[in-house]
Amino acid sequence: METKKVINNSMKIVLPLLLGGAILYWMYRDFDFSSIEDVLFSQMDWTWMILSFPFGILAMVFRGLRWRQALEPVGEHPRKSVCVNSIYLSYAVSLIIPRIGEFARCGVLKRHERTDFAKALGTVVTERAVDMLLMLLFTVVTILTQIPVFMTFFSRTGTRIDDIVGQFSTTGWIVTIICAIAAIALIYFVLRQLSFYNRIKQTVHNIWLGITSLKGVRNIPLFLFYSVGIWVCYFLHFYLTFFCFGFTSGLGVTCALVCFIVGTIAVIVPTPNGAGPWHFSVKTMLTLYGVAANNALYFVLVVHTVQTLLIIVMGIYAWIVLGFTKRTKPSELLN
């Protein structure tokens, strides 16, 4: 039994890495990495990259504060600082095992605030539902205003069956098959993990309480402000990086919004921080707006790497802070 558990846990780490690695290898197999140094220190304006950092951090802060609001209707009152730090940490651990951060942040609240794990998990489902609705709205508006670009994107990326048959090389088919197998296997393991909660009646009840908690939120306008603010900050975190490079600085906010939407959808594929699918999608969109393929590769490689490092730094910060944070006593839960 222990051996089976070790194998399952190992596969949760290996499969996402394999999936992301396969896509990255396919994209960068002929890339000249020796030129990156010149791009980083001679061609790139780091001022805009640094200016983008506060928005990336603020998005996580808003997410932590919104989560605290969602927890209040189910009788949980964690400290704001612990909620925010749990978000920092959740993003960082998701770099190791995709989606595990949702469980990790619930675990942080259980450990430090005595928050019921299942109730917390239910509110996470509520949050994700709200995020999906907002992203759906943004996506529909963006697609309607940029239909020609998206139609070209679908054609270039082989979304249509005839394009797949006509454009895929042997290497492309091998990478696609590996990615498909890895994705199916990962979904299987995730479903098995979730089924653990479905076998316990009380836990299911608590999750449902968390899901329905939105109707009990006391300050709906503030909840909506946080929800919209999260995505506005995510977008600005991405958009400001366009001004780091001469070949993207003049593309405009519409191009940035299209790339942001496509990249966000690509992150759904279970790889560490969307590595691979995000690179491929954003790079393809940039080329449709006239950016040279090699320059587009520079952009996605640098931006994704730097933003991932920011997540790691914030995760380390949260881990240290939480290590010095006193756990809430039962008598303090309502303070």
* Tens-digit pLDDT profile for residues 223-282: 999 999 999 999 999 999 999 999 899 888 888 988 898 888 887 776 767 777 888 888
Q: How many structural domains comprise the chain?
A: 1
Q: Is 326 contained in some domain?
A: no
Q: Among all chains, which residue has been given the structure tokens 């590996």?
A: 178
Q: Is 35 contained in some domain?
A: no
User: Does the pLDDT at position 210 exceed 50?
Assistant: yes
Q: Is 294 contained in some domain?
A: yes
Choose from 20-29, 33-42, 56-65 the range with maximum mean pLDDT. 56-65
Q: Is 333 contained in some domain?
A: no
pLDDT at 196: 47
Find out whether 126 and 115 touch, Cβ atoms under 8 Å: no
Find out whether 213 and 115 touch, Cβ atoms under 8 Å: no
The full length of the chain comes to 335
Residue 174 DSSP SS3: helix
Taking residues 148-155, report their average pLDDT: 63
Q: How far is CA 69 from CA 73, 235, 286, in A?
A: 8, 23, 38
Q: Is 254 contained in some domain?
A: yes
pLDDT tens digits along 154-180: 565 554 444 444 545 565 556 666 666
Backbone torsion region of residue 312, taken as left when φ is above 0, otherwise alpha when ψ lies between -120 and 50, otherwise beta = alpha
* Confidence band for 89, pLDDT divided at 50, 70 and 90: very high
pLDDT at 319: 94
The domain of 24 spans 2-28+45-321
pLDDT at 80: 93
Q: Is 186 contained in some domain?
A: yes
Taking residues 270-296, report their average pLDDT: 82
